[in-house]
Each structure stands twice: as C-alpha cells, then as structure tokens.
Chains A and B, each alone.
Chain A
C-alpha cells in the first residue's frame, strides 16, 4: 500500500474521465507507428511504457506468482494544457483505425479548470449552443402553383445579386444625374460574402486559397463573390493586383495593416470592393480583435507593422474619437475621401439593442454605404469563452427591426443591411442566408461556414477543436507556423470555394424558384416566411405556421 501523501493529487488533478474528450485506443490494432502522437496538436496523447502483469503459473509446483513485462502503449494526458480537444486528427492519420476521441458523456469537470494561472478560457470558434437555430426553423411557405407557375430553378434565368453601397432615392438620383451631383458608388455582388477573417487569423495558405477561389468564382463561374479581409491588412501584392476588386478591406480599432494599405493606394490597379469599418463583432461584442502572440509570425509582424510574437489586442473602440456618432461620421467620410468617393464605406457593428440608433445615424450620413450587423453566433479567431457564449444579441430580430424601421421611412435598402452570425451553423447556409434576406437583409456574411466547408475546419458547437487562437490549428487553417499550414493545399481550398459557391447558387435558385422570384433577390419578402413558433413569428412579423 502506498501512502496517500506520496501520490501527487492536487486540487486540479484530473483523470481522463473528467475531460471533455476521451481517447479510445485499441491496443490490439495499434502498430505503434506514432503517427497519432506526432499529429496531435495538443500533445494530448503520448507514447509511454506500460507494465503488464504476466501470471506465472507453474503446474507442477504449488507456487503461484506474477511476472511483469513492459511494453509501449498510448496514454492520454490529463493536464488541462494537454486536454484532448476532440479534433480527431489522430483517427484521421491512424492507418489501423486504432484510435479515436469520443465526447465524454459523463459530467465534464474540466470546465472548472479552464482558468488556470488566473486566465479565463480563451478560444476560437463560436457560441457553443447546439440544436437548430431560429434561422433553421424558418420555412419558405409561399409557393407559386396555380396562378403564377413556379419557375424552374434549372432552366430559368435568375438574377442572384445584391447591391453593396448606398442606394439613393430615385428622386435624389435623378436630381444628381441632371445637376451633376455625386452618385455614391455601388457594387453588384453575390449576396453571400466571405466574412472578415484576417490575414493574421488565417494561415497564408488558407487565405491564398480563398482568394484564388473567389477570383475563379468571379472570372470563370460568373458568380460575383467578394471577401472581406478582416483587420490586419492585406498582403502587399494583393493590394497592387487586379484581385483587389474582389476584396473588402476592413479597418478595425487596431488599424493593423493600414499603413501598408494607405501606402499602396497610388499603386492600386483597381479599387477594393468596399471598406468595412469594424466597430464591433457579434462573437465578442464590446471586445476588440485579438491576435495572440503565438500567431504573430515574421510575416504577420511585417504586414501589421508590429514586433514579432507579441499579443495584438485591438482596443474595443476606435480610440481616436470619443463618440460613436462622431467616429462613424468622420471615419466613413475620411475613408470615402481617401478612395476618391469611389468605394462604398460602411460600418460593422455587433447586433444589439442600439443597432437601430446606429442605423438611423447612417441614414443621415450621405457617405455611409451600408450597415453590417453581426449576431451572437458569429465566429472569431480568439475570444474569451464567456464573451462568445453569453454576450450578444441574435441577428434575426435585430436585422428585422432595422429593416422595418427603414421601411417605415420608405428607405429600405437605401442603406443595405448585411447580416452575419451563425449563418450555416448547422450546414443550412443557403436556407439561413435566404431567411435573413427575406427578413430584410440585402446579403449575408459567412465566415465559420466557409472555414468548415473550404478548409475542413473541425470545430463544432460541442467545443470540438476551437483552438484557432493558439496557432496549433490541426488543419493548418488558422496557424501561422509553416509546419502546420503546409498541411493545407491552397489549390484544394480554391476548388472547395468554387464548389461551395456553385452549390449555394443552385440552392438559392431552388429557394427563389418556387416563390416565383427570379429577377431580383427577394429582400424583405416576408410574406414568404413562416415559423412554427408563435412568439418568434410575432417578433419577426412573419406568419405563424404549424
């Protein structure tokens, strides 16, 4: 018997049944090739010696006893720093199907230890709430049948584009055309935008692959997809390339990367698609961006004009100005001027009860080109878990309220509203996006869905993976270490971008055709929506159906 004292059991000692993911390893299949332990980004498993009892039975004598032999096996580490994240890279590389993580169905005590060294849990991903979202539950129930024949999604001509940029009232437009006034710039884009994911958050291969894919969609498939850079600038060669027209440049409160952008303006071959000024993000409202030091590589440091390997938190607000109204007004105007009033400039805010006041502010700002509203289910590269899970506002009601507010003024879509946050969370990207469009959004931004679809991101709402912040992304999507990101082939990513957009395009038509719409994206066509939830129907002012 060993004395209790000699066993190191501390308050934070865990057994692996306390962890969120448990490794199941089959010794009988394992050939000890070591692939799983080599690939594990968390060091959650390791090869180690184990002792096995070999009973010694001597039939002729009465003696019984035990011999022991040592062998090599795989063991799961139980330190929080090495807790398995369920990414299942181990099972992906195992040649013998000998290993796999399983979600722990037992109580998961490790949540109580997610704050070691006084640091609350930070992670990437998005809100850990499973099950169908409100958007998933919306149905398109206005089906053309008798008087208006339903259209054929495969054969009819569809116009699946939306306007990005300030839309004047027809009266204003004619007045300015005749009298030579300024007509705000607009772009015809595909309504599903690749949302802001910065060049620092994503690995160069992921970013490059997406850019290639976007260019292919525009130039070969004729689907005018645009993507947003997020804060952190844009590689200098892209700024000087014709691909810039597919890119929305983001400026956030850290202004990271903007030196490069400003310097590149005289050499730009074309204008960017738009400028997004980030005031808030749905995943972590009230927080600025955060690029943790692990990911600030030499390249990123150069691009952002900062030292290597330091944390890069952006302030929660734009520090140079002291009121949001003033800030929005000045920044929108300044940036519009910097790009000779040829580029739409719009703010991005997190969905909240104050979205409507921001919107009404924009209506009176002649340079504001739109409003991007990001809801609580939005994704992020790094944030405090508590912000992601508990802070924010769902996007659907926020967008709807804003749209109805504009409609009451006869100004709907003059300031196009873009929505983000949880679109495609359960894979229903076209359905979720179109539900928002019919609630009043001119288009949607999708980030996490794109990462999952084109990069093969492993994250989910059961807190699988979600280590995007630490630079150990097992797929090489969000890591800045070449060792990891060379796992991701940019050409394959580009191919997936094209796949994804071709299929969204088809699905959107499959939604529009039965409604009898083909010429115009059904923005605000709320008569086509129904939901089997009385309270939601009332709140969104759509039909209650059950």
Chain B
C-alpha cells in the first residue's frame, strides 16, 4: 500500500517539505518509487510567468535531449527557462538518467489568441509526440507533463534519497501545491510512467490502493479514442483520466466525479433531489465505477485540491489544516508533519459519500456529500 501526501498553501514551499512528511509514513512504502507534482511554481533564479507551459521529464542521453530540443524548436516553442537540478547521481539507483529537465517555454505565436481549450490540446499533443519520440528511440526520453505552472518529477527509489539526489532541499523550486506518492511496488513492473501522480491536461491524481475494476475501465477509455487516454501501466492511471473525462469531456462539475466513480445505490437515489438525473448518469457511466480499495487525491489547474474514497472505504486518508495551508495524507502523522500548527481536532476523515475539496482560496474545506444537491443548474 503506497503512501500519499499533498500540501497546498498560500505561501510557496519546497517540495522537500512534503518528502520529509513522507518519511513520517515510511512504513507504507518499499522505496520502489517517488512521484511529485508541483503546481503554482516559483523559481529562485527566474521570474516565472504562469502562462508558460513547463515541460518536465527525463532525458536518458545527450542525444535524446538534442532530439527533444530540435522537436520543440520545429514545433515553434521558444525556450524561456531551463532549470538545472544540482545532481548527486550516486544517490539514484538507475544509471541512465542523463538529465532531469524542467523547462518553461513560450507557446508558438499562432496560439497567442487561441481559446484555452485549443492551447491545452496543443500541449497535450506535444507531450504525446515527445513521449512517442522517446518510445521510438529505446525509451531514451520520458515526459511527465507539459502544462502551464506544473512540474513533475518521478524516480525509482527511496523518496528522501531522490529528494537529496536532486537537491530539492535547496529552495530553488517552490510551489503552492505539492503532491507526492511513495510507491509500494505491487502488481505491475517498475516503470517510470507507472509512477503516480498521473497527469493529463492540467489534471492530476494519485491513488492509494488498487483498482480491481481496472481492465474493463481501461478497455472502455481506450475505446473512446480520446488523445492522451493511453499508457495504463498502472491501474491508477484511469482515475486521472476519469476525472479528466468528467471535467473536460462531459463538462460536469468536480462533485460529479464521485457520482461517476462510486454512484449511490438506487435506494439512496430515490431520496436524492436529483435522483432521476443521477440514476441516468450512473447508468451511462457504469463502466467507470471503480471498485477500489482506493483513496484518490487530486489537483486541478486552478489549484483546487480534492480527496475521495471508493465505496468500500478500505484505504485511509486524512485531511487537516488551517486558513492558508492544508494537507491531505494517508496517515495523520503525514498531516502533522505538513501542517503542524493546525487544530488537529478539526482533522477530517471522509466517509464513502464525501468529496473533500480544498478550494483555491484555501480559507476552509468544503466537505461535500453525495446526498447533497449536485451543482448542476442546466441539467437537473
């Protein structure tokens, strides 16, 4: 069972903080990997414009890096910033990590006045093309994300070691949201892409547990032929894609996610103010019902963070914090480490009907229950 931690704060903080919190929960992982997602970026040596998309990943050889450069040039991207990690390669198990990159680009001019959707699609397609480029060349290029204001780092090994290897303690990079997963390798092979969090068009989730309904969900998502619905080296990747599907394809509010992955029973829906609509939604999205056990933690482009459970609620997760700083973690000790100055009596452990939402203003939590009205004026 992996361990998850997320911190969101008004004041940007170093990812090393979250990695240290992961140490508190160290019984929960076996050092088979760390995944980090940062959002709301700040660089010590660069005044970052949050409109610039950031490309993050690993070039496994010099050649791969050159190929990537050429590709980005050709596609019309202008490199604005190339973050250099202070590396201690001896701390990293894998020996073929030529370079970790976090690079901010200016989008090609023709996208300047394009609607948000088109810009996002372009970034997605570029990321996929780069991933393909790597795959076609012996996997010498791994690309995790390409999106404004988001950076991702994934590596095999013990979380703290990885943090040290990349000198994440040095305060060079900070962010307002940071999510981390310490991986317990279980069913699938160790693969960089299989490491949480999973990312698509600004939406990211990480999961604790195992999704037993993985294969039918994967089959369905693959059949949809939506760009980016690929990969699935991990059974948890579908959570990110379902969230993406809910928000971007169906254009439903975040609250609908819970209704899709863990619908209420017919009996409960009979009493629900939008029972008819939700029954219909359950019916058409039945193929996306997750069967857990899972705790899903995610963030959205507007820095909203959220936590949901599967129906059986067999995975732990706690949320706690104060005005301005909140944490979600698998264990209370994780929350303690992230926001020590909070009132612990206000910590909350969601039940199976809850969606915990930390809105971008970070003043207070929204605990939304599936039995509540779904904010859906146009449909219900």
**Chain A positions near chain B (C-beta within 8 angstroms):** 144, 146-149, 151, 156, 159, 163, 167-174, 177-178, 183, 186, 188, 407-413, 515-520, 522-527
Q: Is A144 within 8 A of B250, CB to CB?
A: no
Cβ contacts under 8 Å, B287 to chain A: 412-413, 523
- For the complex, what is the distance from the CA of A216 to the CA of B222, rounded to whole Å? 42
Q: In the complex, which of the residues B222, B284, B378 has the most CB atoms of chain A within 10 Å of its own CB atom? A: B284
Q: Is A170 within 8 A of B215, CB to CB?
A: no
16 new A-B contacts at CB < 8 Å, known A149-B293, A519-B290: A144-B212, A148-B212, A151-B312, A167-B283, A167-B284, A170-B281, A171-B249, A178-B378, A410-B223, A412-B216, A412-B219, A516-B210, A519-B289, A519-B310, A522-B213, A525-B215
- For the complex, what is the distance from the CA of A447 to the CA of B310, rounded to whole Å? 37
- For the complex, what is the distance from the CA of A170 to the CA of B310, rounded to whole Å? 21
Write the chain B residue with the least CB distance to A408.
Answer: B223
Cβ contacts under 8 Å, B250 to chain A: 170-171, 174
- For the complex, what is the distance from the CA of A168 to the CA of B280, rounded to whole Å? 9
Partner of B209, one of A147, A172, A177, A409: A147
Cβ contacts under 8 Å, B265 to chain A: 159
- For the complex, what is the distance from the CA of A186 to the CA of B266, rounded to whole Å? 13
Cβ contacts under 8 Å, B225 to chain A: 410
Q: Could you write out 25 A-B pairs with CB less than 8 Å apart?
A: A147-B210, A148-B210, A148-B212, A148-B292, A151-B312, A156-B312, A167-B283, A169-B284, A173-B284, A174-B379, A177-B380, A186-B283, A407-B223, A408-B223, A410-B223, A410-B225, A515-B212, A516-B293, A517-B212, A518-B311, A519-B311, A520-B289, A520-B291, A524-B219, A525-B216
- For the complex, what is the distance from the CA of A410 to the CA of B222, rounded to whole Å? 7
- B345 within 8 A of partner (CB): no
- B277 within 8 A of partner (CB): yes
Partner of A178, one of B286, B292, B379: B379
How close is A479's CB to chain B, nearest CB, in angstroms? 40
Q: Is A409 within 8 A of B283, CB to CB?
A: no
Cβ contacts under 8 Å, A170 to chain B: 245, 249-250, 281, 284-285
Q: Is A517 within 8 A of B291, CB to CB?
A: yes
Cβ contacts under 8 Å, A524 to chain B: 215-216, 219
**Chain B positions near chain A (C-beta within 8 angstroms):** 1, 184, 186-187, 209-210, 212-216, 219-225, 245, 249-252, 262, 265-266, 277, 280-281, 283-287, 289-293, 310-312, 314, 378-380
- For the complex, what is the distance from the CA of A527 to the CA of B223, rounded to whole Å? 17
Write the chain B residue with the least CB distance to A524.
Answer: B216
Q: Is A177 within 8 A of B219, CB to CB?
A: no
Cβ contacts under 8 Å, A518 to chain B: 291, 311-312
- For the complex, what is the distance from the CA of A256 to the CA of B312, rounded to whole Å? 49
- For the complex, what is the distance from the CA of A518 to the CA of B311, rounded to whole Å? 9
How close is A64's CB to chain B, nearest CB, in angstroms? 86
How close is B222's CB to chain A, nearest CB, in angstroms? 8
How close is A519's CB to chain B, nearest CB, in angstroms? 5
- For the complex, what is the distance from the CA of A37 to the CA of B245, rounded to whole Å? 71
Q: Is B223 within 8 A of A147, CB to CB?
A: no
- For the complex, what is the distance from the CA of A146 to the CA of B209, rounded to whole Å? 10
Classify the secondary structure of B's interface with A.
Answer: loop
Shortest Cβ-Cβ A-B pairs, 9 listed: A410-B223, A516-B212, A148-B210, A173-B284, A527-B215, A410-B224, A524-B216, A520-B289, A147-B186
**Given the known A-B contacts A520-B291, A526-B215, are A167 and B209 also in contact in the complex, defined by CB atoms under 8 Å?**
no
Q: Is A167 within 8 A of B186, CB to CB?
A: no
Q: Is A410 within 8 A of B220, CB to CB?
A: yes
- For the complex, what is the distance from the CA of A159 to the CA of B291, rounded to whole Å? 11
- For the complex, what is the distance from the CA of A519 to the CA of B293, rounded to whole Å? 11
Q: Is B286 within 8 A of A520, CB to CB?
A: yes
- For the complex, what is the distance from the CA of A149 to the CA of B315, rounded to whole Å? 10
How close is A281's CB to chain B, nearest CB, in angstroms? 29
- For the complex, what is the distance from the CA of A411 to the CA of B284, rounded to whole Å? 11
Cβ contacts under 8 Å, A151 to chain B: 312
Cβ contacts under 8 Å, B245 to chain A: 170
Cβ contacts under 8 Å, A168 to chain B: 284
Partner of B286, one of A163, A408, A527: A163
Q: Is B223 within 8 A of A188, CB to CB?
A: no
Q: Is A148 within 8 A of B289, CB to CB?
A: no
Q: Is B291 within 8 A of A519, CB to CB?
A: yes
How close is B251's CB to chain A, nearest CB, in angstroms? 8
How close is A284's CB to chain B, nearest CB, in angstroms? 34
How close is B181's CB to chain A, nearest CB, in angstroms? 14
Write the chain B residue with the least CB distance to A404.
Answer: B219
Q: Is A177 within 8 A of B379, CB to CB?
A: yes
Write the chain B residue with the least CB distance to A177.
Answer: B379
**Given the known A-B contacts A147-B187, A525-B215, are A183 and B210 also in contact in the complex, defined by CB atoms under 8 Å?**
no
Q: Is B219 within 8 A of A519, CB to CB?
A: no
Q: Is B286 within 8 A of A188, CB to CB?
A: no
